[in-house]
Structure 1
Amino acid sequence: TLINIEKTVIRDVTIRNSAYWTVHLIGCNDASIDGISILNNLKIRNGDGIDVDHSKNVRIANCHIESGDDCICLKNRREFEEYGSCEDIVVTNCTMVSRSCAIKIGSENMDKINNVLFNNCIIKNSNRGIGIQNRDEGTVTNVIFSNMIVDCMFYSDVWWGKAEPIYVTSYPRAVGNHKDAGWRFPKGATEGRCGEVSRIYFTNIKCTSENGIFVGGDTQDKVNHIYFEDVDLLLQKRTAYEGGIYDKRPCVGEGFIHDKTYGFYIDTASDILIDDCTVTWGDIRPDQAAEGIGQKDVRNLKIKE
């Protein structure tokens, strides 16, 4: 863990079998992480690869990360709120394997996450691929994911996620969930609230998974202006785990949505663009398979071919 460091460089090292977050930047500015390998046990929960926490002007490049929990995670934890927002983050040319979510923004975010670029990355053998999991009052804006290959499948229920290759959400935290304790609320608050997720762009992403892309929020305006361009999804059943399920956890109320497996499932959002995207099924087409796009309580959904 590095706290409040100006100009940090971590380069050309291999780290193995970390029991908790492997590289944790807190309140750092002008940090470069280049050419490192993180090889953690895929069964260890909380064994994150790189966590960028309240930090700015961070570049992560040319890394290989295998972790039970998130490979690269951006967040703003309440314990370090004096360091302000998490902004101006660039991640390029990385390969990742995760049993949780390979690339995650959240779930802890009490400030602002802004100006983020992920480019030229490969995610394989993961439980969830790209995830924006906003669960606090902070906001997530101006994020681009481009030129990526994402490969997911169902894994054990101990992890959040149900093989969603792309996941964009904002829900308030529950009070009693054992993985979501009330100490994460603002001081004096007895219930949580969640901030806006907006201006999120997905361009030229090739996905293979047992489940579809999920977008959702607690109100229509909470998740808005989400753009998918040239996103191709191959739905390929590869495990015996039951499909037809999407994972909203951690959240107030029911943590799962049970429905058919769509290429895109959009539940309570606004201003969504799906442009020149394809959804195809592989050789095995399960009973819960559906076509194209499922939507519920969506305002201004545009589909272009």
Structure 2
Amino acid sequence: MRTKHLILALFSLFLLNACQQRQKGVYNVMDYGAAGDGKADDATAIQQAVDACSAAGGGTVLLPSGHTFLCGPLKLASDVNFHLEPNSRLLANPDESVYNESAFGDNRGEGMMWISGKDLKNLSITGTGTIDGNGVAFMGKELEDSYELKPVTDFDPRPHVLTLINAEKTVIRDVTICNSAYWTIHLVGCYDALIEGISLLNNLKIRNGDGIDLDHSRKVRIADCFIESGDDCICLKNRREFEEYGSCEDNVVSNCVMTSRSCAIKIGSENMDVINNVLFNNCIIRGSNRGVGIQNRDEGTVTNVVFSNMLIDCQFFSDVWWGKAEPIYVTSYPRAVGNHKDAGWRFPKGATEGRCGEVSRIYFTNIKCTSENGVFVGGDVPGKVNHIYFKDVDVLLYKRTGYPGGIYDKRPCLGEGFVHDSTYGFYIDTASDIYIEDSRIMWGDTKPDKAADGVMQKNAHNVVIE
């Protein structure tokens, strides 16, 4: 009998030790004083959990199920898995006064940081909980297809959801990130990052509400994501504020579903360096203002970009949003000199006007487009946009909104921001070495305004149509 009791005691001790081992390295934010009631600001408690986890050599910072953690600015750290259990929510504090660290360094005119980290390694954000940017709390009144932005001068308090600068080996997986007041995920100078299986669901009426921005970042993979955003869903760029981090190269996007009021997939407009070696494959774009856009507006170059196996559906929206339902858009124009709140950051130091770099070797293969407008390719001078290839690209054109057609959008640029002309399947304006092969232009039952046939060539050289 004693032997039986001894065996049971030893077994119980074994289970207790196993349980303790499973909990080792887990830092529950409620153990650090987080209330999780959605009312008290839990930023201090969550920060203590993150710092303790990193200082101990790494582990998991846990936001448990069934709680809403109201939170002001928060800094992540190396070797931390920031994990949100199902039915947990991290909610941005709606008090604008708590956000005072700029998302763009000395340029304070384009939003502040909420969740951030710099010079990190081995960071992950995982789980099926929700990170909520509380975006509408930072907006002005609601308009027809947007929110009015509150007036600002050189300081914009709207928080970006997540800003990571110079991070290596980052994983963001499975979480829902929603309702951003400004950019949502901003990777600056990052190397070896994976964003996989997330739902990024922003309010479609919030301007500047980008989904994922890859800024001077390399070796990034974005896969199997669902993204809705008022501004660009996925954008590659090289901002001048972070020029020390170099080029944006060797990035892959695959198997994503997107909707945007601006451009679902965009390269630019800010690009003062090199964007090179990029693949976009197996994506669906629905109900967007522009589908795929290369919008080069600075001295940087865009080369070796492949778009393949895509379904693109576009329509007109108001002039609040850049784009005029162009399913595919490839351009390079110098940006305008303006009095925008961040105009001092748009040009090289000491320059009073901008210039734009070359866009070349861009490939579109097996893409099916449905829109109120056609493909647009254009540059400021002959040869600036060159070697653009379209193979098996179908364009179905038909009218579906009350907005006027016969227009293409060149903004932001010097001079007239729009091209007023007929609606063509392909509009080639000041570009060279354009190849259109095995592609079709079709018209729906309701033709777009000023519908015209085929391909417009204006100041174009060596346009080859097979």
TM-score, length-scaled by structure 1? 0.98
Alpha carbons of structure 1 residues 29 and 211: separation in structure 2 relative to 1, 3 Å: same
Which residue does the alignment assign to 2:456? 294
Paired residues of 2:397 and 2:448 also in contact (CA < 8 A): no
CA distance in 1 between counterparts of 2:343 and 2:358 reads: 22
Which residue does the alignment assign to 2:34? none
User: What is the aligned counterpart of 2:329 among 147, 151, 167?
Assistant: 167
Which secondary structure does the structure 1 equivalent of 2:242 belong to? Answer: helix
Paired residues of 2:423 and 2:449 also in contact (CA < 8 A): no
Alpha carbons of structure 1 residues 287 and 156: separation in structure 2 relative to 1, 3 Å: closer
Which residue does the alignment assign to 2:432? 270
Which structure has more relative contact order (CA 8 Å, sep 6+)? It is 1
Counterpart of 1:111, as a letter, is D
User: What is the aligned counterpart of 1:117 among 279, 282, 306?
Assistant: 279
Deviates further, 180-189 or 100-109: 180-189
User: Deviation of residue 183 (structure 1)?
Assistant: 2.8
> Which aligned runs of 4 or more in structure 1 are off by greater than 3 angstroms?
177-180
Which residue does the alignment assign to 2:360? 198
The structure where helix makes up a greater share of residues is 2
2:172 pairs with 1:19: no
Which secondary structure does the structure 1 equivalent of 2:459 belong to? Answer: strand
TM-score, length-scaled by structure 2? 0.64
CA distance in 2 between counterparts of 1:180 and 1:290 reads: 40
Alpha carbons of structure 1 residues 206 and 179: separation in structure 2 relative to 1, 3 Å: farther
Counterpart of 1:124, as a letter, is R
2:90 pairs with 1:90: no
CA distance in 1 between counterparts of 2:465 and 2:430 reads: 17
Q: Which runs of 5+ in 2 are unaligned?
A: 1-162
Which secondary structure does the structure 2 equivalent of 1:237 belong to? Answer: coil
Which residue does the alignment assign to 1:232? 394
- C-alpha RMSD over aligned residues: 1.0
Q: Which runs of 5+ in 1 are unaligned?
A: none
User: What is the aligned counterpart of 2:373 among 188, 191, 211?
Assistant: 211
Alpha carbons of structure 1 residues 169 and 18: separation in structure 2 relative to 1, 3 Å: same
CA distance in 1 between counterparts of 2:384 and 2:216 reads: 22
CA distance in 1 between counterparts of 2:342 and 2:417 reads: 12
CA distance in 2 between counterparts of 1:296 and 1:26 reads: 38
User: Deviation of residue 302 (structure 1)?
Assistant: 0.2
Alpha carbons of structure 1 residues 9 and 242: separation in structure 2 relative to 1, 3 Å: same
Which residue does the alignment assign to 2:164? 2
User: Deviation of residue 181 (structure 1)?
Assistant: 2.5
Paired residues of 2:241 and 2:345 also in contact (CA < 8 A): no
Which residue does the alignment assign to 2:104? none
| Cα deviation digits, residues 54-93 of structure 1 (max 9, x gap) | 0000000000000000000000000000000000000000
2:313 pairs with 1:151: yes
User: What is the aligned counterpart of 2:193 among 27, 31, 45?
Assistant: 31
Which residue does the alignment assign to 1:54? 216
Counterpart of 1:271, as a letter, is D
User: Deviation of residue 178 (structure 1)?
Assistant: 3.9
User: Deviation of residue 228 (structure 1)?
Assistant: 0.2
| Cα deviation digits, residues 19-72 of structure 1 (max 9, x gap) | 111111000000000000100000001100000000000000000000000000
Instruction: Using the aligned pairs only, state the percent identity.
Output: 82
Deviates further, 169-178 or 249-258: 169-178
Structure of larger gyration radius: 2
Give the count of matched residue pairs. 304
Counterpart of 2:382, as a letter, is Q
Counterpart of 2:323, as a letter, is G
2:289 pairs with 1:127: yes
2:433 pairs with 1:279: no
| Cα deviation digits, residues 211-243 of structure 1 (max 9, x gap) | 000000001111000000000010011001100
CA distance in 1 between counterparts of 2:430 and 2:297 reads: 16
CA distance in 2 between counterparts of 1:177 and 1:243 reads: 29
